[in-house]
Amino acid sequence: MIHAYSDKARDYFERNFFRGKNLEPLYICLTEVFNNVFDHANSPVHGYVITQYSKSSRTFETAVFDLGNGISETVNRHLKATGSDPVNDNQAVELALKRNFSAKSKPHNRGYGLDTLSSIVQTMGGELAIRCNFAHLHLDPKGITREVESLSLPGTLITFTLNADRLEELEEESTDSIFDF
């Protein structure tokens, strides 16, 4: 279940390291990557994940790997289906990171997931790397770098870090007012 790992990771780090802090950025990043795997990857093993907190660098470090189609292949399959020209692996990953771009593997997909992930990583002063097929895209506060790897990676590996010093205080629930849109 997508929420189980995300819930447990958030609660574990809050309870043991960051009582009173809001670890929602970590929770949302995990759920966005997991949903991306389940919606698009078609991976025979779903995926593997590890999250750790480094006290020395005060960063959360997460890696998620699946053995599915790979983001670039999924994007190019969508481009072909919609009559567009194919792009190289790094360009495909950059497309996937754009808000509102979706490969539409599922009807509800709207292209918010990976954009949300990269936005949170940037807000939290972290780094994001995506490796699939020959693509290796890396985003950090200095910008974006693209490498073409010599070996093709089956599936997709997403790693991201979040700076714990950017965590905000946990808000209290408002119990005496109604939020009106």
* Site residues for other proteins per CB under 8 A: 1-4, 6-7, 10, 22, 24, 27-28, 31-32, 34-35, 38-39, 100, 106, 108-110, 112-113, 116, 171-175, 177-181
In angstroms, rounded to a whole number, what is the distance separating the alpha carbons of residues 99 and 111?
Answer: 6
Q: Report the nearest approach of other proteins to the CB of residue 152 (Å).
A: 28
* Closest alpha carbon to 97 in 82, 79, 112: 112
Find residue 154's DSSP bridge partners.
none
Q: Report the nearest approach of other proteins to the CB of residue 160 (Å).
A: 15
Q: Report the nearest approach of other proteins to the CB of residue 174 (Å).
A: 6
Q: Report the nearest approach of other proteins to the CB of residue 97 (Å).
A: 13
39 or 140: CB nearest other proteins: 39
Distances (CA, A) of 75 to 104, 111, 118, 160: 9, 12, 17, 21
Q: Is 15 exposed, middle or buried (0-12, 13-18, 19+ CB in 10 A)?
A: exposed
8 or 80: CB nearest other proteins: 8
